[in-house]
């Protein structure tokens, strides 16, 4: 049994989902062109991660012990329907929030970070509370990486960059440097 702060920090910094596991790269490279949208997408993703962690725990505890080979199909169906359900719920409860999240909610279904979270949490045998803390750390870590890259990209738009390197190539190299910086956190825990 690992302690909760460790799980949180580990998911947030040391094993950051985007910069160490390469999960959720499509939104990371796709929508990180403005600070505001990336912060919103990050929050929406964190929210879906939390719900997914709970669902994954329920599935693992009550359903999948009888049929482990159905794990993947169950997870993907549950994530897709959860996102759909949350979308309807938010639309009903808070139209303002719904407008703010906009297109990002349905897009989250295809974010591999969500499925990755469910699978990693299962592989490590996290319980209910641990799963929630892990999801929170991973979600905030994802938001952090997204906001950092968006900030750097906004700055870079003001500078004179050779035409050849503009676009995905430059974003990937920036991400590489960010990832190197995050490697420094590996020293936080000797056991990681």
Interacting residues with another protein (CB under 8 A): 19-26, 29, 69, 71-73, 76-77, 80, 110-112, 114-116, 119-120, 123, 163-165, 167-173, 175-177, 179-180, 183
State the nearest-atom distance from the C-beta of 169 to another protein, in Å. Answer: 4
CA distance 25 to 32: 10
Nearer to another protein, 33 or 100 (CB): 33
Nearer to another protein, 95 or 167 (CB): 167
State the nearest-atom distance from the C-beta of 59 to another protein, in Å. Answer: 14
Nearer to another protein, 25 or 147 (CB): 25
State the nearest-atom distance from the C-beta of 113 to another protein, in Å. Answer: 8
Kindly state the DSSP code that residue 109 receives in the 8-state scheme.
T
Report the candidate in 123, 146, 190 with the shortest Cα–Cα distance to residue 25.
146
3-class secondary structure, 127: coil
Cα–Cα separations (whole angstroms), residue 20 to 47, 78, 83, 98, 156 = 21, 26, 25, 31, 23
State the nearest-atom distance from the C-beta of 42 to another protein, in Å. Answer: 17
Region label for 160, one of left (φ > 0), alpha (ψ between -120 and 50) or beta (otherwise): beta
Nearer to another protein, 73 or 129 (CB): 73
CA distance 168 to 33: 11
């Amino acid at each position: 049994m690992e302690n909760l702060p460790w799980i949180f920090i580990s998911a947030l910094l040391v094993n950051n989902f985007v910069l160490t596991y390469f999960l959720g790269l499509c939104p990371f490279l796709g929508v990180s062109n403005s600070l505001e949208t990336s912060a919103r997408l990050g929050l929406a993703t964190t929210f879906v991660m939390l719900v997914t962690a709970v669902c994954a725990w329920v599935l693992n505890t009550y359903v999948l012990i009888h049929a482990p080979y159905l794990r993947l199909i169950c997870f993907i169906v549950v994530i897709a329907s959860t996102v759909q359900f949350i979308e309807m719920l938010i639309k009903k409860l808070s139209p303002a929030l719904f407008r703010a999240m906009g297109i990002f909610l349905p897009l989250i279904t295809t974010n591999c970070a969500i499925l990755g979270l469910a699978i990693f949490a299962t592989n490590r045998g996290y319980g209910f509370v641990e799963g929630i803390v892990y999801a929170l750390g991973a979600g905030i870590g994802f938001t952090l990486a997204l906001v950092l890259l968006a900030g750097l990209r906004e700055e870079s738009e003001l500078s004179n960059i050779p035409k050849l390197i503009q676009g995905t190539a430059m974003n990937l190299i920036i991400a590489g440097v960010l990832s190197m910086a995050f490697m420094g956190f590996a020293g936080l825990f000797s056991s990681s």
